[in-house]
């Protein structure tokens, strides 16, 4: 259903990499050639076609390329902040070329992401993407500020993932709805759909970071723990257990024995299952919004797409 659009947006991003200034070309090409799951593009393309017909393929591909390039830029910067050695199964940009080059490459990709939609005829699309870029940075800053704080609230946790993950999916869903020709009410509803899908996706990602149900993550397990990030399974644990012992384990999470013991305690307290249940509730909210769209095979595909997110293993 989406392969022609994906192929075109991939081509657009490769062209950006190939036309990058000398010194950045190799680095950006290395990043662009690791496409990942492309779930943001898939959501955008399916919603773009959900009104019964395929719209302008180039506009769809440009919007998706913009989002994907913005997402890749954020990952490059994330790896610098988190000191991650791997991304999508291969060494990260900052590991290969150093922090300075990685930051500059990420900056260039961020600028180029907005160039994809600078001439978009419906100004709501670049406006949505610019808003998403701002929310993404705000979410990342909040996450850094909260790192190591075991007293963060559930509300703080949600604020972080609304910014760093869900904001791009909000923009994808809104852009898809705009390209499908829906009115503003449906566009806003699709934004809520993207928000709930994004929250659910990040919760599942946070569970996978503990190695629970994970296969071929393409990054090291326990990265969140080792960076002092308190995600939903730990928040749920703290709601019903004393903090002292777990706090000491989290401080020593770089030691394999400590990380293993943390996982054991979270399993025994059913924290992973409870976190997954919360993710499923958000996916249910996203699915309910699909009822506002025309009944079609696209609608069914989107429901299947949401359901598949709860069972993903990478």
Q: pLDDT by residue (tens digit) across 142-156?
A: 998 998 888 899 999
**pLDDT over 90 at 42, yes or no:** yes
Give residues with Cβ within 8 angstroms of 197, minimum separation 6. 43, 166, 169, 173, 282, 283, 286, 306, 309
CATH 1.10.10.60 for the 3-309 domain, yes or no: no
The pLDDT of residue 217: 47
Average pLDDT across the chain, whole number: 89
Longest dimension (CA), the chain: 57
- DSSP-based three-state secondary structure for 203: helix
The single residue listed with the structure tokens 């909260």 is 146
Is the C-alpha dihedral spanning 295, 170, 105, 160 positive or negative? negative
Compute the CA torsion angle 208, 210, 215, 216 (nearest 10 deg).
Answer: 100
271-313 confidence digits (pLDDT tens): 999 999 999 999 999 999 999 999 989 999 999 989 888 777 6
pLDDT top residue among 166 and 96: 166
Q: Considering the chain, what percentage of its residues have pLDDT values greater than 90? A: 62
The pLDDT of residue 170: 98
The pLDDT of residue 314: 58
**pLDDT over 70 at 214, yes or no:** no
Structure tokens of 215?
């296969």
In this prediction the pTM is 0.91
For residues 228 and 250, is the Cβ–Cβ distance under 8 A? yes
157-180 confidence digits (pLDDT tens): 999 999 999 999 999 999 999 999
DSSP 256: H
Provide the residue ranges of all domains of the chain, joining segments of one domain with +.
3-309
Beta bridge partners of 87: 90
For residues 45 and 298, is the Cβ–Cβ distance under 8 A? no
The pLDDT of residue 213: 57
- At residue 85 the predicted structure's pLDDT band, cuts being 50, 70 and 90, is confident
The pLDDT of residue 182: 95
For residues 117 and 129, is the Cβ–Cβ distance under 8 A? yes
Over residues 133-139, the mean pLDDT reads 95
pLDDT top residue among 218 and 243: 243
Over residues 101-106, the mean pLDDT reads 87
Cα gap 165→163, rounded to integer Å = 6
The pLDDT of residue 215: 54
The DSSP annotation for 105-126 comes to HHHHHHHHHHHTTTT-SSTHHH
CA-based angle 215:220:222, to the nearest 5? Answer: 100
């Amino acid at each position: 259903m989406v392969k022609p659009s994906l192929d075109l947006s991939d081509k657009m991003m490769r062209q950006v990499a190939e036309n990058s200034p000398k010194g950045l070309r190799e680095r950006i090409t290395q990043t662009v050639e690791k496409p990942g799951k492309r779930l943001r593009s898939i959501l955008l393309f399916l919603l773009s076609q959900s009104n019964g017909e395929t719209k302008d393929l180039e506009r769809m591909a440009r919007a998706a390329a913009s989002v994907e390039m913005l997402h890749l830029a954020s990952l490059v910067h994330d790896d610098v902040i988190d000191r991650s050695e791997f991304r999508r199964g291969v060494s990260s940009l900052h590991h290969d070329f150093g922090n300075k080059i990685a930051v500059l490459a990420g900056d260039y990709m961020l600028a180029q992401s907005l160039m994809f939609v600078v001439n978009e005829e419906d100004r709501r699309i670049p406006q949505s993407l610019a808003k998403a870029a701002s929310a993404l940075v705000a979410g990342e800053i909040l996450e850094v500020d909260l790192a190591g704080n075991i007293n963060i609230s559930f509300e703080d946790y949600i604020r972080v993932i609304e910014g760093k993950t869900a904001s791009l999916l909000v923009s994808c869903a809104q852009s898809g709805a705009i390209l499908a020709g829906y009115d503003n009410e449906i566009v806003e509803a699709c934004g809520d759909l993207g928000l709930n899908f994004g929250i659910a996706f990040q919760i599942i990602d946070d569970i996978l970071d503990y190695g629970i149900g994970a296969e071929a993550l393409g990054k090291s397990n326990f990265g969140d723990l080792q960076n002092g990030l308190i995600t939903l399974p730990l928040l749920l644990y703290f709601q019903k257990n004393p903090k002292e012992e777990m706090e000491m384990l989290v401080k020593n999470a770089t030691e394999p024995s400590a990380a293993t013991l943390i996982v054991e305690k979270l399993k025994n307290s059913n924290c992973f299952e409870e976190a997954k249940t919360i993710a499923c509730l958000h996916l249910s909210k996203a699915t309910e919004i699909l009822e506002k769209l025309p009944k079609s095979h696209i609608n069914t595909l989107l429901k299947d797409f949401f359901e598949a997110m709860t069972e993903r293993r990478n």
